[in-house]
Structure 1
Amino acid sequence: MAPLCKISGQRVITFNLTFREDFDTGGALGCGHFLQYQVLNELYAGCRPSQRAHFNRPIRTFGTDMLLIVLAYLGGALTILSPCILPVLPFVFARADQPFVRSGLPLLAGMALTFALVATLAAVGGGWVTQANQYGRWVAIALLAIFGLTLLFPRFADHLMRPLVSAGNRLSNFAQTDGQQVRAGSSFLLGIATGLLWAPCAGPILGLVLTGAALRGASVGTTLLLVAYAAGAATSLAVALLIGGKVFTAMKRSLGAGEWIRRGIGALMLCGVAAIALGFDTGVLARVSTVATGGLEQKLVDKLSPNAAPGKAPVAGNAADASGGAMMSVNAASQSTAGADADSTAVNAAQGGAMMRTAVAAEAAPLPVEGVLPPLDGAVQWLNSPPLTTQDLRGKVVLVDFWTYSCINCLRSLPYVKAWAQKYKDQGLVVIGVHAPEFAFERNIDNVKKATHDLGVDYPVAIDNNYAIWRALNNQYWPAHYFVDAKGQIRYHHFGEGDYAGSEKVIQQLLTEAGHANASKVALGIANGGAQGVQAAADNADMQSPETYVGYQRAENFASPGGEVADKTHTYVAPSQPGVNDWGLAGSWNVGAEHATLAASSGRIVYRFHARDLHLVLGPGKDGKPVRFRVSVDGAAPGASHGTDVAADGSGTVTGQRLYQLVRQTGEVGDHTFSIEFLDPGVQAFAFTFG
């Protein structure tokens, strides 16, 4: 299936209400482990949605907001069926024998509010929140470990608290013996600690909720969504706690085993602390979580979506993938007057992700008005042109192209955009490239200047580092094309690669409407044999490897023994027999959220892939010194299968932060083991892409 663009987030859901959301916390968002969950693995579907969450083009309404809040609440309630809730259950049930109003209720309130607060801050606040939350998690782990020890060993509480009597009541307030009055404040504090540690498995609904938090920014709506999700989880836990409390009391009365039950809960709490500290809550348990709840959540989304008319069959391919993850129902990659049914897309699973089929091509019919081109004054800088305004563009047909210079999908569509800019500029077409960064280095204006020069982009480019234009258009993808008529009205859009002839016909149609009758007589397509190098069209028939991130926030299929170690220098061993789409590191690397940095004079990255082309986004490191490398395919120099950035003997040099084409096979495509050995320290590796 042709990858037209990528949809970010492992358990991403595109919600066909009046707006659509998908979740990704990569790049500048930097939500770290706490909001990482399992949302951070990539789905693919032809365009590249942003590292931030974002809303689809149609306007939101009060009704859809309320519907989403209800959906968030129901999704939270389903978390009790997910394995990821297991590590925190001992904390919740530690006081099952205490009055619910003074014990269970404050605990669950503290847990829910803390989750909502930290999730909101992490989604909108960036790296400092991530770091602060990591410290908070370890403090909470220590606090709950002490609590568990006091339950398991009552004498431990007495010895521990003696030096702290002057500062307040004993910590054993957290572990009262039977019959003591519990304090609501201590329960609330325990709930806060639990909320810092709670990492719910990300099913479709949580992906939807976190999406709203990410690009909407700090707002009442953002907080309400997260509070609704947390409240749903708290409700289901409250029901379980009320039932569990009665069972606990009955067991004490009938068996006289209250002390041993209390110690058992203490032991389970220590097990929960160990599981969270070792990352099982966001690792092993998360990988099996959606088997339990993913299908239920997807059914809720499909039922509550107003686009799913009663009795109407779902879009073909709209089903759970093999791993139990929910499939997405997405709007068409291109929109025409044929209507929603004609533009429906189908999604099917591939390597835990999703592929979006090519949308129906545009028809030669009157194009609807989709909206009005918003102001373009949010760009931090303009290249190749003074700042343009909507008034400057009146009377012109405008193509707005959202792109970023290391995006392989963007690079492959770029030859067509450049050709359109050249072919139709004398007839009134203005092409505006809106450069919205994914990786941190793409925010560097000098890097963007160099990239536009090297790529031959001579039309106006708005550098949208703050996503102002992105938000104004409610964009969602890289690449994304918006076609604007001479009156400033958006008449058509296309997301991702493909259907270039259809897009060019739209340009001709809008130019004809504007009075340029000869536009329709221009021959379609690219002259001079088409695109070359990394900009050449992908071999979709043989491409079976997905875009793969190296940084821990969005990494998947990492096969080096022991897994990735976050934010620490660690010596890795390459997998001896990686499966297809497995990859690993060898040598001393520091794996960060966004990329891995080589910490020694040499190191390797290995990937077992199935595609004609292999690309890797690389950077030379902070000092900017070039880094030499050597590529091999199945243990030998690539020879005729070398990419444009590699010699036949496999040698090459990382000189700047960009996408490097390392393999371009000339023969039959099959499974091959790629290895790149770096011969100098400091290289930064970001992401693999394929073609």
Structure 2
Amino acid sequence: MLLIVLAYLGGALTILSPCILPVLPFVFSRASQPFMRSGLPLLAGMALTFAVVASLAAVGGGWVVAANQLGRGLALALMAAFALALLWPGLSERLTRPLVAMGSRLSDTAQTEDSPRIGSSVLLGVATGLLWAPCAGPILGLILTGAALEGANATSTLLLLAYAAGAATSMAAALLLGGKVFAALKRSLGFGEWVRRGLGAAMLAGVAAIALGLDTGVLAQLSTASTGGIEQKLVDRLKKPQAGDAMAMRGNSTMMMQGPAMAPADNGAMMAAGGAMRRAAAPTLPDEGLAPSLDGATHWLNSAPLTARDLRGKVVLVDFWTYSCINCLRTLPYVKAWAEKYRDQGLVVVGVHAPEFAFERDIGNVTKAMKDLGISYPVAVDNKYAIWRAFQNQYWPAHYFIDATGRIRHHHFGEGGYAESERVIQQLLQEAGTAQTAMGLTEVDATGVQLAASTDAMRSPETYLGYERAEHFVSTPPAVHDKATLYAGPTRPALNAWGLEGRWLVGPESATLSAPSGGIVYRFQARDLHLVLGPGADGKPVRFKVRIDGKPPGDAHGMDVAADGSGTVTSQRLYQLVRQPGDIAERTFSIEFLDPGVSAYAFTFG
């Protein structure tokens, strides 16, 4: 129930977002008509269409995206005809072409103020719903992420309906207020004709903005009233991690999904905001219920499948992770150390590898990553998210501590809290009757990507390059979905803005270079910059050059880059490209790829 309220409030905040501006003229075109017969059906059609399309997009594939793009095109044509008819009423009488006739008929019914037809209002609402592209802030990102992870279900659709209803409520208030203003103008000044023409011009401007991508590009960048911060505060105040909620997060960045990616959610998602999330340990550990079984794994690595009988009498740590997740990588030194330190005393560590990106479903990739990372404890490959759903998990990384009787006694989400977690292990081992438990706390000497983040000066969030979750994209033209396009990169990007240079194909979860050379630019502030990359489908290595403020990185190079900035993409994984020594300030990162085929998935920072 709480998440439904949160979704409704998030939708209500949409009215403050500049992304809604191109849609408002379509709504205000009904301001002078009876609300119950005109405005309300329009808003209902708009909300219902948005919920249906978003639900399908969250659980469907590329065909849904393509279908929605076609629907948007048809809706734009319909809106343009409607707007022209508002500007020139005689147009509906003179033009006889089918599309214009459709727009004219809709315009005629829309302008019949005495008895507007409910059906035409619903039709206009459906068309508006197809055009609606709200800024996907944390709340919508959580809902869409949950839909992606859980599959098609009534809960996801209900949450999307609540979000759409919230947006419709705030627009209804604006519509009612606008109706009073328009009525006053018509009574006192006789401006009815000019108001009608003004609405037509505004609608044409809205059609042009949506057709050019300004609704999700320039408007978002020029926003002075972004709702993201407000929504995140709602998430933080109203949302506590609860089993079964439809969302997923990585440990220190919100997974904002512009669609259904495996989240997150690192924003996020597939997405945890503002650093590692932890729950304070109680003097006595609570009983959080019987632990689910580990059935449903598609593969087991380093072990035969483990059952409840195999684990009976053991203390078990279940670690949800995925190998390109920076937050997971930074917790691994502790998890590996605990597995080794307490193995002979009755602790069993089980990793559950739940993939975020498609390439993380490949068993060969997971096996290689485990070998490179030195993981020797059992790992269940959860490509179908059966274990994820059984635990009703929401985060990467997530640690569940299970006692010798099979009960969950503690959990921790995200990075940090290592001392508390180790004390839980010690207590559960003592409860299990271990004769001699190693005391003291583990210290690790992490290096490379596993070194803890430097959060004091970090101001850059995880940033996805696929269109389902991309934000702050500032190349020209705006991102074109699923079609190779030539992009010009930004010359002076603002903090956390990024862009592509060269010919790229922007897909749902990555951007792929389709020409012999191209690059990416990002303005960031953090000690470390990482980028998840993969070579082309042929597996051939891709050479690259990194620059910081236009110069080779020197002593600020990451572990996957030489001091002169050179490096090579050889496999699908996270690459550390920058590690700055000394004081941290805003810098402009750029990477030039010298060979085609590379795919870029997500920036992360530390």
Shift of residue 405, structure 1, vs aligned partner: 0.6
Q: TM-score, normalised by structure 2?
A: 0.84
- 8 A contact 2:32–2:113 mirrored in 1: no
Match of 2:26 among 88, 91, 96: 91
Structure 1 residues 305 and 687 mapped into 2: Cα distance closer, same or farther (>3 Å)? closer
Shift of residue 245, structure 1, vs aligned partner: 4.5
Number of the residue aligned with 1:478? 396
Structure 1 residues 652 and 224 mapped into 2: Cα distance closer, same or farther (>3 Å)? closer
Shift of residue 173, structure 1, vs aligned partner: 4.2
The letter for the 1-side match of 2:58 is A
Distance 1:632 1:88 in 2: 41
Number of the residue aligned with 1:537? 452
- 8 A contact 1:73–1:232 mirrored in 2: yes
Structure 1 residues 473 and 590 mapped into 2: Cα distance closer, same or farther (>3 Å)? same
- 8 A contact 1:161–1:171 mirrored in 2: no
Structure 1 residues 298 and 383 mapped into 2: Cα distance closer, same or farther (>3 Å)? closer
Number of the residue aligned with 1:487? 405
Shift of residue 356, structure 1, vs aligned partner: 2.9
Instruction: Summarize the alignment of residues 37-116 of structure 1 with structure 2, pairs less than 5 Å apart.
Output: 65=1, 67-70=2-5, 72-73=7-8, 75-77=10-12, 79-80=14-15, 82-116=17-51
Number of the residue aligned with 1:342? none
- 8 A contact 1:612–1:665 mirrored in 2: yes
The letter for the 2-side match of 1:598 is L
Distance 1:416 1:305 in 2: 28
Structure 1 residues 525 and 601 mapped into 2: Cα distance closer, same or farther (>3 Å)? same
Distance 1:446 1:397 in 2: 30
Match of 1:394 among 302, 308, 312: 312
Instruction: Summarize the alignment of residues 354-433 of structure 1 with structure 2, pairs less than 5 Å apart.
Output: 354-356=273-275, 359=278, 362=281, 365-433=283-351
Partner of 2:596, secondary structure, is: coil
Shift of residue 186, structure 1, vs aligned partner: 2.3
Structure 1 residues 228 and 633 mapped into 2: Cα distance closer, same or farther (>3 Å)? closer
Number of the residue aligned with 2:441? 524
| Structure 1 unaligned regions, length at least 5 | 1-64, 308-329, 334-351
Shift of residue 559, structure 1, vs aligned partner: 4.8
Compare 178-187 and 677-686 and name the one that shifted more: 178-187
Number of the residue aligned with 2:126? 192
Structure 2 residue 447 is the aligned partner of structure 1 residue 507 = no
Instruction: Summarize the alignment of residues 640-655 of structure 1 with structure 2, pairs less than 5 Å apart.
Output: 640-655=555-570
- 8 A contact 2:213–2:478 mirrored in 1: no
Distance 1:295 1:625 in 2: 42
Structure 1 residues 106 and 536 mapped into 2: Cα distance closer, same or farther (>3 Å)? closer
Distance 1:183 1:681 in 2: 55
Match of 1:273 among 204, 207, 212: 207
Partner of 2:199, secondary structure, is: helix
Distance 2:212 2:390 in 1: 42
Shift of residue 289, structure 1, vs aligned partner: 6.4
Number of the residue aligned with 2:532? 617
Match of 1:291 among 225, 228, 233: 225
Partner of 2:320, secondary structure, is: strand
Shift of residue 490, structure 1, vs aligned partner: 1.0
| Structure 2 unaligned regions, length at least 5 | 242-248, 253-270
Q: TM-score, normalised by structure 1?
A: 0.74
Distance 1:305 1:448 in 2: 33
CA RMSD of aligned residues (A): 3.6
Distance 2:506 2:250 in 1: 35
- 8 A contact 1:76–1:233 mirrored in 2: yes
Compare 394-403 and 272-281 and name the one that shifted more: 272-281
The letter for the 2-side match of 1:355 is G
Shift of residue 68, structure 1, vs aligned partner: 4.4
Distance 1:403 1:272 in 2: 43
Match of 1:220 among 148, 154, 168: 154
- 8 A contact 2:251–2:396 mirrored in 1: no
Distance 2:331 2:385 in 1: 21
The letter for the 2-side match of 1:452 is M
Partner of 2:105, secondary structure, is: helix
Structure 2 residue 396 is the aligned partner of structure 1 residue 461 = no
Structure 1 residues 265 and 223 mapped into 2: Cα distance closer, same or farther (>3 Å)? same
Shift of residue 467, structure 1, vs aligned partner: 1.8
Number of the residue aligned with 1:569? 484
Partner of 1:449, secondary structure, is: helix
- 8 A contact 1:483–1:490 mirrored in 2: yes
Match of 2:105 among 152, 163, 172: 172
Structure 1 residues 612 and 248 mapped into 2: Cα distance closer, same or farther (>3 Å)? closer
- 8 A contact 1:612–1:669 mirrored in 2: yes
The letter for the 2-side match of 1:134 is Q
| Superposed CA offset, 1:389-441 (max 9, x none) | 22321111111111111112211221221222222222221111111111121
- 8 A contact 1:396–1:486 mirrored in 2: yes
Structure 1 residues 447 and 195 mapped into 2: Cα distance closer, same or farther (>3 Å)? same
Distance 1:672 1:229 in 2: 37
Structure 1 residues 274 and 470 mapped into 2: Cα distance closer, same or farther (>3 Å)? same
Match of 1:229 among 152, 156, 163: 163
Structure 2 residue 524 is the aligned partner of structure 1 residue 589 = no
The letter for the 2-side match of 1:275 is A
Structure 1 residues 484 and 639 mapped into 2: Cα distance closer, same or farther (>3 Å)? same
Partner of 1:459, secondary structure, is: coil
Distance 2:251 2:97 in 1: 66
The number of residue pairs the alignment matches comes to 580
Shift of residue 608, structure 1, vs aligned partner: 4.2
Shift of residue 94, structure 1, vs aligned partner: 2.5
Match of 1:138 among 69, 73, 90: 73
Shift of residue 304, structure 1, vs aligned partner: 6.7
Structure 2 residue 525 is the aligned partner of structure 1 residue 600 = no
Percent identity of paired positions between Structure 1 and Structure 2: 69
